[in-house]
Amino acid sequence: MDYVKLETVMRRLALEAGDKIMEIYNSDDFEVKSKSDSSPVTEADEAADALISAGLRAAFPDVALVTEEQAATHGESAMDFLIVDPLDGTKEFVNRRGDFTVNIAWVENGVPVRGVVYAPAKDRMFYTLADGSSVEETAPFDKDKPGALTPIRVAEADNAALMVVASKSHRDQATDDYIGKYATKDMKSAGSSLKFCLVATGEADLYPRLGRTMEWDTAAGHAVVTGAGGKVLNFDTMEPLAYGKDGFANPFFIVCSPSVELKSA
């Protein structure tokens, strides 16, 4: 994979998709449909998916592509592939809460090594550079060239006063019980893969996810966290979360700074 080309293409497509999403988000009304698993899908998901997948296929025609909105891409698993969630946090989008993101990632040998997470309603964009390190780019964004870039790094955690982030739409008792094992200073709620990015920037130390997710939900955020020095671990084994699994479903997982003293389930 040409990482320099990949950085440029992923960043531009994320921004273009973000523009399309915000055009629909700011309209008076938009259609919301239900997928086979009863999760919502909007015309913004579909428009962003069409734009991103066409751009990736044009730029990398020989690379496998997995995208949430195209069931035909969910077939045989692979070790090296591009993976896309064109609009992560559709519930946040539908409720006009702003916590939704565009996610594009490159998985190599089952590991997300490059990715971009763009939150267009919040003017926040996080991505890995060609060298694998993670940055946040400051708005306003120019599609043709990056603006001001700030290197991001996970925090040195204070285990007596941890900053925790949890899902806004998918909180449950099991998650609260697990968080209760830690000494916490504060807890934030956030939607979509923004939770990964809050750990990557040091705004949070720990994000446990004891709920259903798919690889397209997590790959881009996983790459950004790794590039910022953080970890994404299988909740049960404490091994790095692997990708290219049959069906692309994830087990429960934990995102954290390496300095967090993790508790067992």
Closest CA to 230 of 157, 177, 124: 157
The answer to the question of whether 227 is labelled as a binding residue is: no
Tokens of 181: 């094992």
The answer to the question of whether 68 is labelled as a binding residue is: yes
C-alpha to C-alpha distance for 250 and 262, rounded to whole angstroms: 20
The answer to the question of whether 87 is labelled as a binding residue is: yes
The answer to the question of whether 186 is labelled as a binding residue is: no
The answer to the question of whether 217 is labelled as a binding residue is: yes
Region of 263 on the Ramachandran plot (φ > 0 left; ψ -120 to 50 alpha; else beta): beta
Q: Which residues contact 53 (CB under 8 A, 6 or more apart)?
A: 65, 67, 70, 84
Helix (H, G, I), strand (E, B) or coil at 28: coil
The answer to the question of whether 18 is labelled as a binding residue is: no
The answer to the question of whether 13 is labelled as a binding residue is: no
Binding residues for substrate: 68, 87-90, 217
Binding residues for Mg(2+): 68, 85, 87-88, 217
Binding residues: 68, 85, 87-90, 217
